[in-house]
Amino acid sequence: MTAADCPFCAIARGELSAEVVLETDELIGFLDVRPVFKGHTLIVPRTHVATLTELPTELMTPLLEAGQRMARAVVEALGAQGSFVAMNNVVSQSVPHLHLHVVPRTKGDGLRGFFWPRTKYVDDAERADYAERLRAVL
């Protein structure tokens, strides 16, 4: 997907309607049209960036600061007890434009979180091998 046909880029350009709640020179935040809970907000870079690995370093702090502000806002404005803040990278990313989800949460709201399957390393040597492979790339 390119910036020309990206719905989030169209929102950032003002060509597609959205309920915008936050705007900076670098980012725009708007209500998700299919919210987990009312007030669920997406924060996206104005420039087309598909995944976290492509995010320019200079946008990392502004993105996290905007997420922090929005997490505070859902508590203060909506009476939420907290928030769920998340980002998908490719898998489960419904629009291939980086977006930070900020979802208001309240104890007993019914969200059960992620059902992540768990696995085990065969032994310490296998665990050490995985660690070394990651260190080598980092």
- Burial class, 53, CB count within 10 angstroms (exposed 0-12 / middle 13-18 / buried 19+): exposed
In the predicted model, is pLDDT for residue 115 greater than 70?
Answer: no
Residue 42 lies in a domain: yes
Q: Domain containing 37 — which CATH number?
A: 3.30.428.10
Write the DSSP symbol of residue 135: H
Write the DSSP symbol of residue 54: G
Q: What is the pLDDT of residues 58-88, one digit of tens each?
A: 999 999 999 999 999 999 999 999 999 999 8
Helix H or strand E encompassing 29 = strand 27-31
Strand, coil or helix: 76: helix
pLDDT of residue 51: 94
Domain that holds residue 34: 3-111
Of the pLDDT bands very low, low, confident and very high (cuts 50, 70, 90), residue 113 is low
pLDDT of residue 111: 82
Question: Do the beta carbons of residue 74 and residue 80 sit within 8 Å?
Answer: yes
Residue 119 lies in a domain: no
pLDDT of residue 116: 53
Give the Cα separation of 46 and 48 in Å (integer). Answer: 6
Residue 134 lies in a domain: no
pLDDT of residue 8: 95
Residue 55 lies in a domain: yes
Residue 22 lies in a domain: yes
Residue 120 lies in a domain: no
Closest by alpha carbon to 87, among 77, 72, 97, 78?
A: 97
Residue 74 lies in a domain: yes
Residue 38 lies in a domain: yes
pTM for this model (two decimals): 0.84
Our count of domains for the chain comes to: 1
